[in-house]
Amino acid sequence: MLHLTILQALNQARQDIEDTDARMLLQSVLNVSHAYLIAHSEHQLTPEQAQSFRLLTIRRVRGEPIAYLIGHREFYGLDFKITPAVLIPRPETELLVDLALEQIPPGHPCRILDLGTGSGAIALTLARHRPLADIVAVDCSADAAAVARINAGRLNVNNVHIIEADWFEGLLGERFDIIVSNPPYVARGDPHLAQGDLRFEPRMALTEGAGSDGLDCIRLIIAAAPCYLIAGGTLLFEHGYDQVEACRDLLGKAGFRKVISRCDLAGIPRVSGGRFGSFPRETARM
């Protein structure tokens, strides 16, 4: 146990956890790349490294998400610091980023609002891809906002203003070209909350304010967004796998036009949105 090689430590852990998880945990303990593990499989771990790896393996066996154990996660090709104060960014949320980027031609200044920014995954990715955008990122959790600020520093982003607020609080009179959001949309008591990573993620990110059908935050955002959008501005948001019809209905009833919904890679409708008011700008397309 005290003088394990990299290969022996990995083989031992693989008896309890997935191969990829074992590799990522050991990379994190040793602060090395995957290639290093392969090239130095006979390298001996110190007793402290072996002990840290064993403890992380045990926590993984208990179900703790890899991103919380190693403290980071890739999103849209960027590396984000992740703590248990924030939702772990999901691949399906990259679809929301894709759609937002389609609305903003490169080299075009615009204002974007990201509601419920968490780690800053959406706002900071948009900022990296559209450096001329002026972005406001809001979260009601001080701990989440702190993580987003650290990520802004890590990613060298200086066009995102991260504020701690309750949705549109403090933004009266401000107008945005695009509002994006991945709000809490899991219904209280949803059985998925007792499964997988969701067991460890903040309730504030999953269910807070989402109500009994999971749609209350989305209702609030759709109802308020027109007051904060320029004429012809766009609202885009992520929703649950079974919420697309309800979301489209809410958008239509609130006066949004050109309502769209897009599916994730699994073919599940995940993002919906629309434009509000007249459409004076040639550049904003939907």
Ligand X SMILES: C[S@@+](CC[C@H](N)C(=O)[O-])C[C@H]1O[C@@H](n2cnc3c(N)ncnc32)[C@H](O)[C@@H]1O
Catalog residues that contact ligand X under the rule CB under 6 A.
Answer: 86-87, 89, 93, 116-119, 121-122, 138-141, 144, 166-167, 182-184, 204-205, 208-209
Compare residues 202 and 274 and give the one whose CB is closer to ligand X: 202
- Give CA angle at 6 (3, 8), nearest 5°: 70
Instruction: Tell me how far, at minimum, the Cβ of 268 lies from ligand X, in Å.
Output: 16
Instruction: Tell me how far, at minimum, the Cβ of 192 lies from ligand X, in Å.
Output: 13
Instruction: Tell me how far, at minimum, the Cβ of 75 lies from ligand X, in Å.
Output: 7
Instruction: Tell me how far, at minimum, the Cβ of 54 lies from ligand X, in Å.
Output: 30
Compare residues 64 and 143 and give the one whose CB is closer to ligand X: 143
Which residues fall within 8 angstroms of residue 104, CB to CB, at 6 or more apart? 110, 112, 126, 130, 133, 177, 178
Helix, strand or coil for residue 164?
Answer: strand
Compare residues 64 and 208 and give the one whose CB is closer to ligand X: 208
Strands (E), 97-247: 110-115, 133-139, 160-164, 176-181, 229-238
Instruction: Tell me how far, at minimum, the Cβ of 128 lies from ligand X, in Å.
Output: 15
Compare residues 212 and 278 and give the one whose CB is closer to ligand X: 212
What span, in angstroms and rounded, lies between the C-alpha atoms of 96 and 180? 8
CB 110 within 8 A of CB 134: yes
Compare residues 118 and 233 and give the one whose CB is closer to ligand X: 118
Q: Taking the CA atoms of 249, 251, 255 and 259 in sequence, report the sign of the dihedral they define.
A: negative
